[in-house]
Amino acid sequence: MLKKRIIPCLDIKDGRTVKGVNFVGLRDAGDPVALARMYSEIGADELVFLDITATHEKRKTLVALVKEVAQQVAIPFTVGGGVGSVEDAYYLLQSGADKVAINSAAVKNPSIIKELADKFGNQCVVLAVDAKLIGDTWKVFLNGGRLETDKELFSWAKQAEQLGAGEILFTSMDHDGTKAGFAIEALKKMNELLTIPIIASGGAGSIAHFTEVFQQTDVSAALAASIFHFKEVDLPALKQALRAQHIQIRL
């Protein structure tokens, strides 16, 4: 059985790590380079780096910062935000990223998923999906949660898998930053539809929430930000607690 992964997320704005609630009310969480180095040293399985305003501000991801972070980590490193072409992905991978996360550009031009997978391999392509429950339908949002689309979460995730995405990073906007737990039912449904790995994101607030998501769904990884950045949950202690619950985890 593949071991479950714990992934800290560095949301970047103006070169700093930030974190909000439901995608708003951002507060400073520190220097991304120092945080990346710390997470690599204390046992994070991977890192995700999201330049959260790149698409909204119509600019590229901060390549120089990606290079600096990559030099500090010895674990897989996914970068997203402003990735709109094969060329963008190439520069990020050349700068030290192991995978690229694509969101807005894929919704606008789904064929880019296939282009990226054909060029770099499925294992390098992560589809990041930000979704919110509108009525009883999970709708996909773009531009850091600012723009509602006509895409429905589950059909979009399935389409992305068929086009060549190697992994889905699903963030529930309703749960993001609330520390009330992951979107368990939506994750269960996504597990039933897909064969590729799913990263659960949005809502982690305690060790119990990680235990719950791994015991109740078949997600491959769980991602969190503020609880790690502000030391509300100790990452090594989290891993020990998961192991004690017989969840397969790297220590």
| Residue 249 placed within a domain | no
* 61 pLDDT more than 70: no
User: 72 CB contacts (<8 Å, ≥6 apart)?
Assistant: 33, 36, 37, 40
CB 45 within 8 Å of CB 37: no
More confident residue, 59 or 210: 210
Identify whether 218 is a catalytic site residue.
no
Q: Is residue 251 part of a domain?
A: no
Mapped onto helix, strand or coil, the DSSP state of residue 2 is coil
Question: Is residue 62 assigned to a domain?
Answer: yes
Amino acid type, 1: M
Can you give the pLDDT at residue 55? 44
Question: Alpha carbon of 101 to those of 61, 163, 237: distances in Å?
Answer: 11, 15, 28
Domain annotation covers residue 123: yes
Residue 59 has pLDDT above 50, yes or no: no
Per-residue pLDDT reduced to its tens digit, 174-187 = 998 889 999 999 99
Count of domains in the chain?
Answer: 1
186 in any annotated domain: yes
CATH code for the domain in which residue 189 is found: 3.20.20.70
250 in a structural domain: no
Q: Is residue 181 part of a domain?
A: yes
1-10 per-position pLDDT tens digit = 689 999 999 8
Taking only the tens place, the pLDDT of each residue in 106-157 is 999 999 999 999 999 999 999 999 999 999 999 999 876 788 999 999 999 9
Identify the domain containing residue 22 by its residue range: 5-244
User: Residue 34 falls within a domain, yes or no?
Assistant: yes
Nearest Cα to Cα of residue 21 among 42, 30, 29? 29
Q: Determine whether 98 is an active site residue.
A: no
Q: What gap in Å lies between CA 122 and CA 108, rounded to an integer?
A: 20
Among residues 14, 130, 176, 218, the one annotated as catalytic is 130
| Global pTM exceeds 0.75 | yes
